[in-house]
């Protein structure tokens, strides 16, 4: 008995010793893992910047022994100025629904000082199917750097709101004036200064409104580094404290960029107006088919390859060039977290960790290719839950790399567009320009090009489109206008249109050829600057004739559509549901053009909340200002004409009808 007790005591001591040894080994291993995590910060353009200057922060130099674990790390940034980019649950994060993490970000410091930047990296070894970590981090480590900021903080409410300077041929600057300096002797002076000594006063005026618009023409500028300076001055010419805003940019080519954006937010390729019409993710074996059957002029996102890298994107550009097309992309590539690392997640839930150094390899290899149109890195970065979205500072970092390495091609972000429907509210979206200051140290940030997708027929029963008081087309156009206004009409917008049925063997959500054609023109009427066809997932129902008809008309009418809004106005009496025609007016070479599309809601179906039934036809009365006497309008491509008296005319619109009127305002010579 004594032996058994002693044996038990000895065995228990050994067991305890074994446990303690195991704990010590695990603890030592954990410490070793933590020590082997080495965060690194790279800062561009350098650690000494001005107030308001964009600063790029990258953690691509961070190392860890396990590449798979590191690829899914969390990168949290604290900028030392009261702004931070931290991964937190939405209920704990002061900014709505944010769970910040990003391998690279950009930031602006809006006050002078020395700011300590903290990068904290967390690595995990277990994840659920949504890509969320299970348990605490395997290792956590922080590193710091210091940014020195010089200059003067602008007063609250004084700023320049604008599109990016990159790839602009011309643009408007919108100077915001604080209430105390409006309508009195305060003077606003806006100056453009070049590093080589040039100086131009763009505006000098008093009796200021809440917003003052300034025109900046990039075309005649020499290759140089520039700064736009907005100042508020007293009646005696002294600058008011805080009345200073400086925006720096560089023009890195002697004339114009290959792909430019003008003051009307229209694209120009080598100076010529261009309206991109592109199918999405077209495989190389189908490019010629799309080019011949739908008369596209460009492509969007690389099609299927067994390997995605800068060379395969180069090959895709070659195929585009062979067919006389330009291309946006790559849209996917080896800058992503490798698919082998995703498990157990079925998709890449770590898009915020796209590697900007590998993006740079794409740009360096392909920026001079004749088929390049714009850079695009990730479709729908706003998709997913709060822990999966790619937030604006990381999108800005991708754009920074594109601009840094290639001044001739803009960058594009394509969003899941339903976020802009009124179903999700009418407030600013987190990806909107007017909401962006909270992410960038107090200064707003804008992308070069916005693309989006909402499919009003295929997804008409989706909650974002299926409401009682509006049909799916009205909901769609309302979302498009919200996207425009929330981004201050600063940049081009390109929508995606499903040119066939969304699902194979569809019997209810049928997308007719008339709807496809009408949707394209409705988008143009509402200010888009390109069209992307999304032909999946039933290519057998693609409405080729509708696509071709639109493309052929746009080839002729693009110089009209993409021109400025005229002084002349247009009114009509069809502005209510079931009796709605939307219009666009343009003027070119002595002719007035009226583009008119009937907004025809689809017939009610089971589960559709909107029950409005469209009449077969409606009559619409139009009035064009500034026209006197009798005239005749040619209805483009219809072989008919309508009579006009003192600018007034009437026409009939059947369901999904689009009519384009050309009115000659220059008297014919005898």
Residue 432 has pLDDT above 80, yes or no: yes
Fold of the 42-148 domain:
Immunoglobulin-like (2.60.40)
Which pLDDT value is given to residue 152? 98
Range ranked top by mean pLDDT from 100-109, 209-218, 497-506 = 209-218
* Phi, psi of 500, rounded to the nearest 5 degrees: -155, -155
Q: Is the dihedral of CA 45, 47, 53, 57 positive or negative?
A: positive
90: CB partners within 8 A, 6+ apart: 96, 97, 98, 99, 386
CATH architecture of 570-664: Sandwich (2.60)
Region 566-572 average pLDDT: 98
pLDDT tens for 301-312 read: 999 999 999 999
- Categorize the per-residue pLDDT at 669 as very low, low, confident or very high, splitting at 50, 70 and 90: very low
Which pLDDT value is given to residue 144? 99
Same fold, 159-251 and 570-664: yes
Strands (E), 15-62: 42-44, 48-50, 54-58
Q: How many CB atoms lie within 10 A of CB 639?
A: 7
Token pair in block for residue 63: 């190392």
- pTM for this prediction: 0.93
- Categorize the per-residue pLDDT at 34 as very low, low, confident or very high, splitting at 50, 70 and 90: low
Fold of the 159-251 domain:
Immunoglobulin-like (2.60.40)
Strands (E), 252-348: 259-261, 267-269, 272-274, 277-279, 298-300, 326-330
Region 319-335 average pLDDT: 98
Region 136-151 average pLDDT: 98
Q: Are 488 and 175 in contact (CB under 8 A)?
A: no
Q: Are 173 and 228 in contact (CB under 8 A)?
A: yes
Largest CA distance in the chain: 131
Cα 159 from Cα 1, distance rounded (Å): 89
- Categorize the per-residue pLDDT at 89 as very low, low, confident or very high, splitting at 50, 70 and 90: low
Percent of the chain with pLDDT over 70: 92
Q: How many CB atoms lie within 10 A of CB 208?
A: 19
Region 102-130 average pLDDT: 97
Higher pLDDT, 218 or 15: 218
Which pLDDT value is given to residue 12? 42
Which pLDDT value is given to residue 536? 84
482: CB partners within 8 A, 6+ apart: 420, 422, 426
What is the three-class DSSP state of 643? Answer: strand
Cα 231 from Cα 229, distance rounded (Å): 6
Q: For 455-584, where are the alpha helices, taking DSSP H only?
A: 472-486, 513-525, 544-561
pLDDT tens for 587-600 read: 999 999 999 999 99
- Categorize the per-residue pLDDT at 503 as very low, low, confident or very high, splitting at 50, 70 and 90: confident
Higher pLDDT, 95 or 357: 357
Fold of the 264-561 domain:
TIM Barrel (3.20.20)
Which pLDDT value is given to residue 16? 44
Measuring CA to CA, which residue among 351, 336, 493 is closest to residue 417? 493
Residue 22 has pLDDT above 70, yes or no: no
Which pLDDT value is given to residue 394? 97
- Categorize the per-residue pLDDT at 602 as very low, low, confident or very high, splitting at 50, 70 and 90: very high
Instruction: Output the average pLDDT for the chain.
Output: 93
Separation in Å, CA 545 to CA 548, 600, 661: 5, 20, 22
What strands lie across the sheet with 104-108, from one edge to the other? 42-44, 54-58, 104-108
Q: Are 595 and 525 in contact (CB under 8 A)?
A: yes
600: CB partners within 8 A, 6+ apart: 473, 515, 518, 614, 655, 656, 657
What is the three-class DSSP state of 630? Answer: strand
pLDDT tens for 352-395 read: 999 999 999 999 999 999 999 999 999 999 998 878 899 999 99
- Categorize the per-residue pLDDT at 31 as very low, low, confident or very high, splitting at 50, 70 and 90: low
Region 60-85 average pLDDT: 96
Region 417-426 average pLDDT: 96
To the nearest 10°, the Cα dihedral for 112, 115, 117, 118? -140
Residue 153 has pLDDT above 70, yes or no: yes
Q: For 562-638, where are the alpha helices, taking DSSP H only?
A: none
Distance of CA 329 to the CA centre of its chain: 13
Q: What is the DSSP letter of 63?
A: B
To the nearest 10°, the Cα dihedral for 563, 564, 567, 572? 70
Residue 146 has pLDDT above 60, yes or no: yes
Q: How many CB atoms lie within 10 A of CB 113?
A: 13
- Sketch the domain layout of the chain as residue ranges: 1-36, 42-148, 159-251, 264-561, 570-664
Residue 650 has pLDDT above 50, yes or no: yes
- Categorize the per-residue pLDDT at 667 as very low, low, confident or very high, splitting at 50, 70 and 90: low
Cα 258 from Cα 226, distance rounded (Å): 20
What is the three-class DSSP state of 73? Answer: coil
Which pLDDT value is given to residue 32? 54
Residue 91 has pLDDT above 60, yes or no: no
């Amino acid at each position: 008995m004594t032996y058994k007790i002693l044996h038990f005591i000895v065995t228990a001591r050994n067991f305890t010793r074994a446990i303690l040894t195991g704990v010590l080994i695990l603890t030592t291993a954990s410490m070793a893992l933590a020590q082997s995590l080495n965060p690194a910060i790279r800062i561009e353009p350098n650690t000494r910047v001005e107030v308001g200057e964009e600063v790029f922060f990258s953690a691509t130099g961070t190392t860890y022994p396990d590449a798979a674990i590191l690829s899914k790390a969390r990168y949290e940034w604290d900028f030392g100025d009261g702004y931070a980019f931290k991964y937190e649950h939405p209920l704990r994060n002061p900014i709505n629904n944010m769970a910040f993490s990003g391998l690279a970000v950009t930031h602006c410091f809006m006050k002078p000082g020395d700011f300590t930047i903290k990068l904290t990296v967390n690595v995990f070894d277990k994840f659920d199917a949504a890509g969320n970590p299970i348990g605490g981090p395997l290792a956590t480590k922080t590193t710091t750097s210091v940014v020195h900021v010089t200059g003067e903080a602008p007063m609250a409410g004084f700023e320049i709101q604008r599109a990016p300077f990159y790839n602009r041929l011309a643009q408007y600057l919108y100077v915001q004036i604080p209430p105390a300096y409006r309508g009195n002797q305060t003077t606003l002076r806006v100056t453009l200064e070049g590093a080589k000594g040039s100086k131009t006063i763009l505006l000098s005026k008093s009796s200021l409104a809440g917003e003052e618009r300034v025109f900046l023409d990039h075309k005649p500028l020499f290759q140089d580094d520039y700064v736009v300076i907005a100042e508020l001055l007293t009646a005696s010419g002294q600058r008011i404290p805080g009345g200073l805003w400086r925006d720096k940019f560089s023009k890195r080519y002697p004339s114009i960029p290959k792909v430019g954006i003008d003051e009307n937010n229209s694209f120009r390729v080598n100076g010529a107006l261009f309206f991109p019409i592109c199918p999405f993710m077209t495989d190389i074996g189908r490019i010629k088919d799309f080019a011949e059957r739908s008369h596209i002029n460009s492509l969007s996102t690389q099609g299927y390859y067994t390997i995605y890298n800068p060379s395969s994107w180069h090959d895709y550009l070659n195929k585009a060039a062979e067919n006389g097309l330009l291309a946006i992309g790559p849209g996917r590539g080896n800058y992503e977290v490798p698919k082998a690392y995703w498990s157990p997640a079925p998709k890449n839930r770590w898009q915020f960790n796209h590697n900007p150094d590998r993006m740079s390899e794409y740009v360096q290899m392909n920026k001079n290719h004749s088929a390049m149109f714009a850079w695009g890195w990730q479709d729908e970065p706003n998709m997913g839950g709060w822990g999966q979205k790619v937030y604006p500072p990381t999108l800005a970092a991708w754009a920074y790399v594109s601009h840094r390495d290639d001044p001739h091609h803009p960058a594009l972000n394509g969003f899941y567009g339903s976020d802009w429907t009124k179903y999700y509210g009418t407030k600013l979206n987190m990806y909107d320009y007017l909401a962006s200051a909270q992410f960038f140290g107090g200064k707003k940030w804008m992308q070069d090009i916005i693309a989006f997708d909402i499919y009003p027929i295929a997804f008409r029963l989706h909650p974002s489109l299926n409401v009682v008081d509006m049909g799916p087309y009205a909901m769609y156009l309302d979302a498009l206008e919200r996207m425009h206004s929330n981004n201050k009409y600063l940049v081009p917008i390109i929508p995606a249109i499903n040119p066939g049925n969304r699902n194979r063997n569809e019997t209810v959500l049928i997308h007719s050829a008339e709807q496809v054609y009408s949707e394209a023109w409705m988008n143009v009427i509402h200010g888009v600057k390109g069209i992307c066809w999304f032909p999946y997932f039933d290519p057998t129902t693609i409405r080729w004739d509708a696509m071709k008809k639109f493309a052929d008309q746009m080839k002729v009418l693009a110089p009209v559509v993409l021109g400025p809004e005229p002084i002349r106005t247009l009114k009509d009496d069809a502005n209510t549901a079931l009796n709605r025609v939307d219009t666009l007016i343009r003027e070119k070479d002595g002719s007035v053009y009226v583009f008119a599309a009937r907004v025809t809601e689809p017939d009610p179906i089971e589960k559709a909340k909107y029950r409005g039934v469209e009449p077969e036809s409606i009559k619409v009365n139009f009035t064009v200002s500034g026209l006197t006497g009798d005239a005749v309008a040619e209805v483009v491509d219809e072989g008919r004409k309508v009579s006009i008296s003192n600018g007034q005319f009437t026409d009939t619109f059947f369901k999904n009808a689009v009519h384009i009127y050309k009115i000659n305002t220059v008297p014919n010579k005898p």
